[in-house]
Amino acid sequence: MRQLILDTETTGLNARTGDRIIEIGCVELVNRRLTGSNLHFYVNPERDSDPGALAVHGLTTEFLRDKPKFAEIANDLRDFVQGADLIIHNAPFDIGFLDAEFALLGLPPFSSHCGEVIDTLVRAKAMFPGKRNSLDALCDRFGISNAHRTLHGALLDSELLAEVYLTMTRGQESLVIDMLGEASTSGGERAPRVALSSLELPVIVASEEEIAAHQAVLDGLDKAVKGASVWRIQPVPTADEQTA
C-alpha cells in the first residue's frame, strides 16, 4: 500500500483568479512506514504572492525567480504520484490548484493520476467536532513537536502531517496490517498477504475458582425465580466448542 502525504504552498487562495503553486512537498509511506523517498519542488509562479500568503510561507518573488516553472516539473510530479493514494489536509484546496496547473498545460487533471484522496481535515472534524483542527492544532493535540515550524513549508508540513495521520489512524490498525508493514517491500510493490489461518490467538480457560463462583451465581438465580433460570435452560457448550 503506497500513500503520499502531499502539501502545496501558493501565491494566494484562489486558482480560478490566477493564483499559482510555488512549492510542492510529498512524503512517501509504504505499508504505513516512512520510506525516505520524498519529492520536493520550489516553483516559479511567474507572478507575485499576495501579501497575506507571503506572510504565511515567506517565499519571495526574488527567491522563486530562478526556480523551474510548473511545466518543467509536471512530468516528474505525475510519475511520482502515479497510482498512489494521497493524504492531504484540506484536500480540495491542493487538488484544485494542482488540477488548475495541469489544465494550463492542456493535461488531464492531476487527480486522474492518483488513487484515493484522504482528507485529514475531514477526518479530524469527525474525530474532534467543534474543535480547532488545523495542522498546528492537531500537532498540539497529539503531542507532535512543531517548534521548528515558524513559517509554512510544503515539505515540512507534509512531514508533520505524516506523523499526525499515522497517530490519528493508529487505532484502526489490525494485526494483519502490522504484519504487512513489517514485510514491506521497496518500490511500491505489494507485500505478501498473510494467511489468517496462520494467526494463533490465545485461549484463556476459566479456573476452578471462577467456575465455582459462576455456579454459585446460577444457584442464586435459581433460588430467586424458584426454578431453573434461563441460564440453566440454555444448552451447555461442549469442551470442543469451548476451545474452538
3-class secondary structure, 86: strand
Per the listing, cell 509511506 goes with 29
The answer to whether 96 and 108 are in contact (CB under 8 A) is no
Digit-coded pLDDT (tens) for 71-92: 999 999 999 999 999 999 999 9
Answer with the residue of higher pLDDT: 79 or 1: 79
CA distance 183 to 29: 14
Q: What is the predicted pLDDT for the residue at 25?
A: 95
pLDDT confidence band for 27 (50 / 70 / 90): very high
Neighbour-count burial for 7-28, b at 16+ CB within 10 Å, e otherwise: bbbbbbeebeeebbbbbbbbbb
pLDDT digits (tens, 9 = 90+) for 171-229: 654 433 444 444 444 444 444 555 555 556 667 788 888 888 888 888 877 777 777 76
CB 11 within 8 A of CB 20: yes
The crossing angle, in degrees rounded to 10, of helices 91-104 and 70-81 is 120
Cα-trace Rg, the chain? 27
Q: What pLDDT score was predicted for residue 45?
A: 97
Active-site residue among 57, 89, 113, 152?
Answer: 152
Domains of the chain: 2-194 (3.30.420.10), 208-243 (no CATH)
Q: How many residues does the chain have?
A: 244
Determine whether 113 is an active site residue.
no
